[in-house]
Amino acid sequence: MPLSAEEQSAIAEARATPRETLRAVAPGMERHLHSAIPVLDHGFVRVVDYMGDDAAIVQAARVSYGAGTRRARDDSGLIRYLMRHWHSTPFEMCEIKLHVKLPVFVARQWIRHRTANVNEYSARYSILDREFYIPAPEHLAAQSTVNNQGRGALLEGEEAERVLRVLREDSMRAYDDYEAMLSTEGQQGLARELARMNLPMNVYTQWYWKTDLHNLFHFLRLRADPHAQHEIRVYALALCEIIRDWVPAAYSAFEEYRLGSAQVSASGVACLRRMLAGEVVTQADSGMSPGEWREFAAVWGLEG
């Protein structure tokens, strides 16, 4: 169960007692407050609090650029201009605080985004639950032969069953030993801060994670990308749905200029200009390495 009975009770109480406020609220985000979105087999993402909306981005930008911009473009157009030209500070006026439950190995990827405030569940003081991430069969893949960070063909049949069995049995065995070390009959058990080191990377942890919208967009640009690892990408995609409801104009601009865009190098721009002029350009005379050329060709639908 993603949420404990105590957490569900606290959430139900919070949702049953709304408070009056004079601050700006985003109706789409209000629907997400205190509601946990299930992710993976035991994880979730839950909005605890937020500050700001699309109007807060515009307000901050007009402080910088002057009131005259209101006559030049509407709010959505201004937000798109800010995103298109990489003006980041107005997006920092919006903040979000999340409660996330995730496997430890996903948390170690996530924490690399250091532009946030984080407080993680402490296994020094508390005992971790017997909950482990076990991949669904459709996400159980072999190591890629061309990408050291990626997955290749799916494992099937007896090999898939063997791997899943090993993952389950090793996880349970490690937790059994964890419990045994914590509580030794007739003797004082091992300290929690030491016993935890025996647990595998697929055990679940939880944290509160607070960041601003600019840095959240950077997180999503990397982690919602199709090339990101599946286990962190599903969290990013859940967040995308939340952010779309919170700041629809900003998220639309983010989709247009970040998620759905392609970065082109100076060499790539030069090649495109030559191609538009009717010239045939190959990797050999493109000024790009073979790897760069493959990526360039894939984006523009060229023959490798």
Catalytic residue among 80, 223, 233, 258: 223
Task: Determine what percent of the chain is predicted with pLDDT higher than 70.
Answer: 93
Instruction: Tell me the H-state helices in 197-300.
Output: 213-223, 230-246, 248-254, 266-276, 290-300
CA 136 vs CA 45, 87, 147, 231: distances in Å: 19, 41, 22, 11
- Please name which of 2, 84, 68 lies closest in space to residue 35, comparing C-alpha atoms: 2
Tracing tokens 């049995």 back to the chain, one arrives at 169
31 catalytic, yes or no? no
Q: Give the CATH class of 5-133+202-259.
A: alpha beta
How does pLDDT run across 13-32, given as a tens digit for each residue?
877 887 788 888 999 999 99
The answer to whether 57 touches 95, Cβ cutoff 8 Å, is: no
pTM for this predicted structure: 0.89
**Which residue has better confidence, 220 or 186?**
220
How does pLDDT run across 36-48, given as a tens digit for each residue?
999 999 999 999 9
